[in-house]
Homo-oligomer: A and B are copies of this chain.
Amino acid sequence: MVTQTQSITLALDVMGGDLAPQSVLRGAEIVIKRCQQANKKPPHFLLFGDEMKITPFLDKLPLLQSFSQIGQTDKVVSNTDKPSTVIRKGRDTSMALAIQSVVDARAQAVVSAGNTGALMALAMRGMRLIDGIDRPAIAAPMPARQGGKCIVLDLGANIEASAQMLVQFAVMGGVYARHVLELENPRIGLVNVGSEDQKGSASIKEAADLLRKVPLAGDFIGFAEGYDMARGNVDVAVTDGFTGNVLLKTAEGTASLISDKFRRMRHGHIFKRLAFWLASPALAMLKHDIDPRKYNGAMFLGLNGICVKSHGGSDSTANATAIEVALNLAEHNYNQHVAQDLPKALAVLQDALVDMAAASDT
């Protein structure tokens, strides 16, 4: 479905992130190289930031130079800036200008490794919510068995989520899995503490009832438990932002615990050290397989525009992944597919809510 001739322009907040601007610029260079290796037209980049700081690095990246132009500003959003302050006073920061370029249709997507709260606030104000979506959701992939991935949303945009919001997340997650990941019939699950119907909070039970009726870009397979994502039993895991955030960080923590266990063998008795040494090729393969940099790039879904948050500590490899996430969303016309699927889903959702209200009145 990717039109190879269509030219994508990506806006980068070059000043966002702990290793900016170098890691962002080098990330973009990596993406261009990969596109060329794959015989694909590379995207064009709008680099928002301070030319004085960008140029020394850009001079060493001739490829990026020929595929980019600089949007000059010496103002930046810092990690400690409050979203409310940025909204009031941050209009000419590199982050805000990058978002504005998408609003003005000069770019198809924006990527930033800066302050998450500020990015969400600016993106919501600039791009605005898609009609019919109550709240944006943050979505990201988690590694699953058989080399698969599971998209989890929401990861923290909403501490609580109503049944209606969970249904909207399922619609948006399904469209992503079908049209961007190109899974024909993604399995969409609702995160819960058990698979039986009577489990969970009132809003989760209501969401499950609704999801059985609402048309989705995939199959609603019912409840998914904490282990179903990693086990590859579900392609899209729908949950509130509190649970999703804890879930993702628990998976990260567990993976780092296991690599720590291996590393500690190095300092054990001679058998342990030998075992560690023998295991190193396998460990290197595993490390490559579940490298968190390969899962970078949290998508802000539900906005009239594509906005991807790269991790604050991203190096160039991690930033390249986040840029590719944005590129993929743009190439696969993610938002057009949402706009296409949403009205039908929302109509059924509204009818179901009316029926439920009527049923509870009688």
Contact = CB atoms under 8 A, between A and B. Distances in A.
B262 A250 contact: no
Contact of A242 (B143, B144, B243, B254): B243
A213 interface: no
A247 B264 CA distance: 25
A109 B309 CA distance: 51
A247 B289 CA distance: 23
A265 B250 contact: no
A279 B258 CA distance: 14
* Chain A interface, >50% SS class: helix
Interface in A262-320: 262, 264-265, 271-272, 274-276, 278-279, 281-283, 285-286, 289-290
Nearest to A271: B281
Contacts of A276: 282
B253 A255 contact: no
Contacts of A193: 156, 159, 241-242, 245-246
A265 to B, nearest CB: 6
A273 B189 CA distance: 34
A254 B256 contact: no
Interface string A228-267: 1111000000010111011111111111111011101100
A5 interface: no
Given A193-B159, A258-B290, A230 B243 contact: no
**Size range of the chain A interface in the assembly:** 35 or more
A7 B248 CA distance: 45
A191 interface: yes
A27 B125 CA distance: 61
B226 A253 contact: yes
A81 interface: no
A290 B258 CA distance: 9
Contacts of A262: 282, 286
Of listed A146, A200, A239, A245, residue having the most chain B CB within 10 A: A245
B227 A253 contact: yes
4 A-B pairs with the lowest CB-CB distances in the bound complex, closest first = A226-B249, A227-B253, A230-B253, A279-B282
Given A250-B227, A279-B278, A286 B257 contact: no
A52 B156 CA distance: 55
13 contacts: A145-B260, A146-B264, A193-B242, A228-B253, A231-B253, A231-B257, A239-B246, A243-B243, A251-B254, A258-B290, A271-B281, A274-B281, A282-B283
Contacts of A143: 257
A39 interface: no
A87 to B, nearest CB: 16
A275 B265 contact: no
